[in-house]
Amino acid sequence: MFYCRVVGESQERLTTHTIDFPYTRTLGPVFSEFLTGMRDGKLVGIKGRDGKVICPPTEWDPETGDALGNDFVEVGPGGVVTTWAWVTEPTPKHPLDKPFAFALIQLDGADTGLMHAVDAGSIDKMSTGMRVTARWKDDRIGHITDVTFVPEAG
């Protein structure tokens, strides 16, 4: 029968294996509007059946499942942090390469939270209920990382 040792620090032979897939995704009408907005420096939500504004926008009503029209609404650029987490050691996949906060941000004019990064500098600058605002990259391509958020001045 098999005998499995737990391998310690001085493991005998570590092999490396990489998977590497370049995906190109089509966006459909709703994400196209959202990411075109990103490129143009605008945050875009969509109106749900009950009139609530959803951001990031969905193609369907989260409550009823009905298809939504093209009732897009510009939201932000400011918003309120409804919850947050302080990332001490960012991974190479994170949008910032220094400690930052992931937060759910309810953008002005929206009724749902957008998960995004807040570049606050230190954990002391973060609190639930604080206001943040969009900080746009100069070179935008229509991607969720065209924007990050920073604490609102004042």
Partner 1 sequence: MAESQAADLNAPVVGMDYHMHVQYHEVLCPVMREFADALMDKRLIGHKCPQCGLIYSPPKGYCPICVVPTDKSHELELQQRGTVTNYTIVTPVQYHGQEETDRFAKASLQLDGGGTLSLQDLLEIPVDDVRIGLRVEAVWASDAERNVDEVTNRSWGIGESAIRGWQPTGEPDVPADELPTNVF
Partner 2 sequence: MAKKTEDIAIVGYAQSPSYRQAELTEPQFLYPVISEALERAGVPRREIGFTCAGSCDYLSGQTFAFVMNLDAVGAWPPISESHVEMDGAWALYEAWVRLQHGDIDTALVFGSGKSSPGKPAEVFPLQMDPYTLTPLGADPVSLAALQARAMLDAGKITEDEMAEIAARSRKSAVNNPYAQVKGDDDPAVLLKEPYVTAPLRKHDLPPISDGASAVVLATTEKAKELTDHPVWIRGIDHRIDIHQPGMRDLTESPSTRLAGKNAGVKGKFDFAELSASFSHQEKLLCDELGLGKDVEINLSGGPLAANPVMAVGLTRFVEAARLIAEGGKKRGVAHATSGQALQQNLVAVLEAE
Binding site for partner 2 (CB under 8 A): 1-2, 4-7, 11, 17, 19, 23, 25, 27, 31, 34-35, 54, 56, 58, 62, 82-88, 90-95, 102-106, 112-117, 123, 128, 143-145
The one segment of 6-14, 48-56, 62-70, 79-87 that binds partner 1 by CB under 8 A: 6-14
Q: Tell me which H or E stretch contains 36.
A: helix 28-39
Encoding tokens for residue 139?
Answer: 């070179």
Examine residue 141 and tell whether it contacts partner 1 (CB under 8 A): yes
CA distance 146 to 92: 17
Residue 86, Cβ density class (10 Å: 0-12 exposed, 13-18 middle, ≥19 buried): middle
Name the DSSP letter for residue 147.
E
Taking the C-alpha atoms of residue 120 and residue 118, their distance in angstroms, rounded to an integer, is 6
Q: Which is nearer to partner 1, 31 or 149 (CB)?
A: 31
| Contact between 150 and 137 (Cβ < 8 Å) | no
* Shortest distance (Å) from residue 144 CB to partner 1: 9
Which of partner 1, partner 2, none does 22 bind, CB closer than 5 to 8 A by kind? partner 1
Binding test (CB under 8 A) with partner 1, winner from 38, 75, 105, 110: 38
Binding residues for partner 1 (CB under 8 A): 1-2, 7, 11-27, 31-33, 35-36, 38-39, 141-143
